[in-house]
Each structure stands twice: as structure tokens, then as C-alpha cells.
Chains A and B, each alone.
Chain A
Amino acid sequence: MDLILLFFIFLLAAFLGLELISKVPSQLHTPLMSGSNAISGITVVGAIVATGANEDGTTGMILGLLALIFATINVVGGYLVTDRMLQMFKKKGK
């Protein structure tokens, strides 16, 4: 991996993130937070590799499995709860 390239990506993503949601109606603050929180569960990708790439019973595999469980709770729970909230916002729109 080219280090400089990684930093470059990081920097661009930071600016993109700041630009994306500079103006959000306050009504959407909670769903935005919980939705972006679900995205931060992307660590699940690292956890999958850590779980699968280590031999059974090694410390690395156990740490990976724990990471996988916690990250999956974050991802699945985060998306579903955000959807539940947004569903409520929707139904009164009619």
C-alpha cells in the first residue's frame, strides 16, 4: 500500500464529508447521526478478515470474532433503527 495515497484518500474523504452535510434540517439530526453511525460499523470488513485469516483458537481469531460480533451489531442495528425512525417521518408526510 502506498502510504501517501492512503493519506490522500483520507484527506479527500474528510473534505467530502464536511461538504456533504453542511446544511441539514434539525428534524433529520437524529437519523443522520444514527445512519452515519451504522456506516462507521464498516470496521466489520476488517473484523471478517481477522476472524477468517487466523487459525482456530488463536488470540487473533478470538479478537477478530469479538470485533465481528460488535461491528455487526453496530451495522445491522444502526441501519434498522434509522429506517424505523425515517419510516415514522414518512407516514405523516401524506
Chain B
Amino acid sequence: MELDNIINLAYVIAATLFVFGIKMLGSAETARRGNMISGIGMLIAVVVTLLDREILDYKWIVAGLIIGASIGGIAARIVKMTSMPELVALFNGFGGFASLLVAWAELEKIGLLGWQLYMGQMGTPAQFSSFVIYLAMLIGGVTFTGSLYAYGKLSGRVSGRALVFGGQKFLNILLLVAILGIGVVFTWTENLDTASSLFVVGVSLALVFGIMGVMPIGGGDMPVVISMLNSCSGLAASAAGFVIGNNVLIVAGCLVGASGLILTVIMCKAMNRSLGNVLFSGFGAANQSSGDDDDREPKAINVEDAYYVLEAASSVVFIPGYGMAVAQAQHVVKELAELLEENGAEVNFAIHPVAGRMPGHMNVLLAEADVPYEQLVEMDNINPIMPTVDVAVVIGANDVVNPSAVNDESSPIYGMPIIEAHNAKTVFILKRGQGKGFSGLVNKLFVMNNSRMIYGDAKATISAMVNELKG
């Protein structure tokens, strides 16, 4: 009794530290300390759990902690900043999978003890235990394979395009109905053998459903998906907390679930689309080239001519997108920005909230390259001064600068807030080839009179500019 009180008290402290930690993560000055505080909370939770009276043997616990900590520690150390989105997705999936396994282990425990004894220990009805076990398994399983698939898409191991096929929605609905149906039977059955077979079927279906759910979502919508999976992994932990009757799991998981939900909403707003539209529409799957009557050709320019324009410019704005991450061009961009500043130009970076594949992706990359924080300007602050900008340099961004979002009501992205690069006096667009962006839409920006395309690898192009400026 005494010991249980100590453990629970420590859990309260841990939960409090999580709350402070998350709060502090929300502000630039305190973020790093916040992360440490929540880490201390985690450490406290882990250490006091080792005191639990149920534990018979420590050797496997120690082994598991060492193996997990080594893998996690090494992965965190060697990952490149450009690969950050896929690593976060992967960790996220592992968290979900752990919740699934904890629920499964609890079911095994019930199988050993029998319902009578188990209910006596837990003090909750059998149906409730079954229900939360199934729920933790379901959310955890969907998070696991969904995150793994997102990891594959982000790291380029599988195609990042949205995959849609005939009857997909029907199949998904069927899958969902099967999952829920099995869940209902699982919850109400008293027979443990039936329950454990149903559970295994449920696990397989949940794993398939995770993949099916992420399949019709394209690469450009990944910031939404990752935030949502993040939220799900929290909810899975919370459900696992109900399974084993542990407060700290419920609280911590729920905090993560809620904060992930907020990020998801922010990302959806930044694209002016509803969550349902992102998840189910298969956006960007087909080439939805909206009946376009504009046959102007984009005008190309070579690096040397671009250099003369840049050299004469007194204000330059860089607009990075996913292409900058792919080309790993952030360091040369920073170099170019410095040279332009020495040349007397005012240099800023305009960051769109959904640029890249993860919320805040561009900020992380530019921070890695040591770009001063003051130069990173959010969308709402850069647009009013855009008409005074001499040169806007779009680096591997497409949909977030598509003027159709502002002035073409028939466009599927109409209403999405964009960085209004087209208002700048001159626009350079660094692009690998003449392909369309993620949405498959024609970008009118490319054919405007003040726009010039610079084709080729962004890193090579910018390096060439740097050399021109130096020489």
C-alpha cells in the first residue's frame, strides 16, 4: 500500500513535468528546457515503475531498455536533418506498436488468470477491459503501419504519390465495418479462446487498415498525416493506460493526442482544406489539369543572366519548398543569402506553413544551415511587402506559390493561403524539370511576364550563382 502511494505520487509528478514540458515547447526561448523537463518526467516514470510489486525479474527489462535506448540513441544521432520527417514518422509508429503489444500482453495475462481473478484485481467490468484492449490495439496498429507507410513515402522507398484505385473507398468501408464488428463480438464474448482468435484477426485488419488509410494521401499532404498519426500514437498510449489502469499513461497520452490534433488543424487551415478532404479525396492522384486555356510557355533564363539581376537587386526573398530539402540545398542557399547581403541587398526567407513534408520542415533545415531567425518571415508578414521585393527566388516550391489559389475560383486549390511571389518585380523559379507540382495543377506563376525559370538541380544552380557572385 505504502509503495503504491509512492509510485502514484511519482506518476503525478511525471505528468506535471509533461504538462510544463509541452507548454515550454511552445515558445522559442524555453523549448529546449521544456524538452528536458519532459524527459526528466519520463525518467521518473520509468524509474518508479521498476519498483512495481508485480515485477518478478529484471533481466529482460534491463535488456529491453538497453536495446531500445541504443537503437533510438544511434538513430537520433546519425539522422540527417533532411531525413527528419521520416525519422519522426518511424518513432511515432514504434510508439503505436508498443501500445498494441501492451494491450496484447494484457490479454495474455487475462488468459492465464481467467476473468474471475482478473476482474477481482482490476475492479472493472470484463466488457470494459475487453473494449479498451481492442481500442488500444486498433489505434496502435493503425498508427504503426500508417506511420511505416508514411515513412516509406517520405524516404522515397515507396512512391510518394497518392494511390487510388476503383472500389478503394468501398474496400476501406468494408474493412472498417469488419474491424468494428469483430470489436463488438470481442467485447461481449466471455470465452477467452474465442477472444484471443478474434484479437489476432483484429490485429491483422488494423495493420492493413493503417496502410489503406495512408495510401490515397499524397506527399504534399504529409504534414497533415504526420500530425494526425502523432495524435493517434498519443491516443493509443492513453487507451493502453485504460487497459492497465495507469493514470500517467492516460494523462500523457491524452496530452499528446490533443496537441497532435491542434497541429493537424493548423496544417489543414494552411491548405484551406478540411481534414476529411485531405484523408479521403486522393488529392493529387490524377492529373487534374483544370481545363487550361493558357498556352504561354514558361521563359527560361541561365544562371549568368540571373546573376546580373540578383546583383542589382536591393531586396531578395527566398521561398523554399520540398525541392530544397530533396536537393539538400539549404547550406548553399545560406551562402548565397550572405553574399547578397554583403552586396547590400535585404534578404528574407518566406516560409509557408505546409512547405515541405512535415510541419515546420523548412524552419528546421534553414536552422541547420544557420540562417538567422530574424530572416525567417511567416506568410502573413511577407505578403504585404511582396510588391516592393525586387527578386523572389522560389526554390523547389510549387503549390504554395500558385497564384490560382488567389485569383482562379475554378481551381481546386482556390482559397488556400499562398506566398504571393507573383507580386514581386521579378520571380526566379528553380525547378528540376517542367513537371507539375504535387497537386498536378498548372502553375500560372511560371508563365507570368515577370517570371523566369532556372531549370536544373537547385543545389548546382545556387552554387553556380554563389561562384558568379564571388568571382
> How far apart sit A59 and B45, CA to CA, in the bound complex (Å)?
25
Residues of B near A35 (CB, < 8 A) are 21-22, 25, 31, 34-35, 38
Contact A3 B95 (CB under 8 A): no
Q: A36-B256, A70-B101 are in contact. Are A6 and B245 (CB under 8 A)?
A: yes
Contact A21 B22 (CB under 8 A): yes
Contact A47 B28 (CB under 8 A): no
**Which residue of A69, A78, A84 contacts B91 across the interface (Cβ within 8 Å)?**
A78
Residues of B near A56 (CB, < 8 A) are 57, 60
Residues of B near A79 (CB, < 8 A) are 35, 38-39, 42
> How far apart sit A82 and B160, CA to CA, in the bound complex (Å)?
25
Q: A9-B247, A43-B98, A59-B108 are in contact. Are A30 and B262 (CB under 8 A)?
A: no
Residues of B near A32 (CB, < 8 A) are 22, 25-26, 31, 259, 263, 360
Over the window 235-270 of chain B, the binary record of Cβ atoms lying under 8 Å from chain A Cβ atoms (1 yes, 0 no) is 011101111111111111111111111110010000
Which residues of chain B in 49-64 are interfacial with respect to chain A, using CB atoms and an 8 Å cutoff?
49-50, 52, 54-58, 60-61, 63-64
Contact A72 B39 (CB under 8 A): no
Over the window 49-67 of chain A, the binary record of Cβ atoms lying under 8 Å from chain B Cβ atoms (1 yes, 0 no) is 1111111101111011111
Contact A10 B55 (CB under 8 A): no
Contact A73 B75 (CB under 8 A): yes
Residues of A near B311 (CB, < 8 A) are none
Smallest Cβ distance from B20 to chain A, in angstroms? 10
Contact B360 A27 (CB under 8 A): yes
Over the window 22-55 of chain A, the binary record of Cβ atoms lying under 8 Å from chain B Cβ atoms (1 yes, 0 no) is 1111111111111111111111111111111111
**Residues in B lying within 8 Å of A, measured CB to CB:** 18-19, 21-23, 25-28, 31-32, 34-36, 38-39, 42, 45-46, 49-50, 52, 54-58, 60-61, 63-65, 67-69, 71-73, 75-77, 79, 81, 84, 87-88, 91-92, 94-95, 97-99, 101-102, 104-106, 108-109, 112, 122-124, 128, 226-227, 230, 233-234, 236-238, 240-263, 266, 351, 353, 358-361, 363-364, 367-368, 370-373, 376, 378
Interchain residue pairs with CB less than 8 A apart (7): A14-B254, A24-B263, A26-B378, A28-B360, A56-B60, A67-B97, A72-B65
The 8 closest A-B pairs by CB, nearest first: A72-B68, A17-B258, A77-B72, A29-B360, A52-B55, A29-B359, A68-B64, A67-B101
**Residues in A lying within 8 Å of B, measured CB to CB:** 1-3, 6, 9-10, 13-18, 20-56, 58-61, 63-93
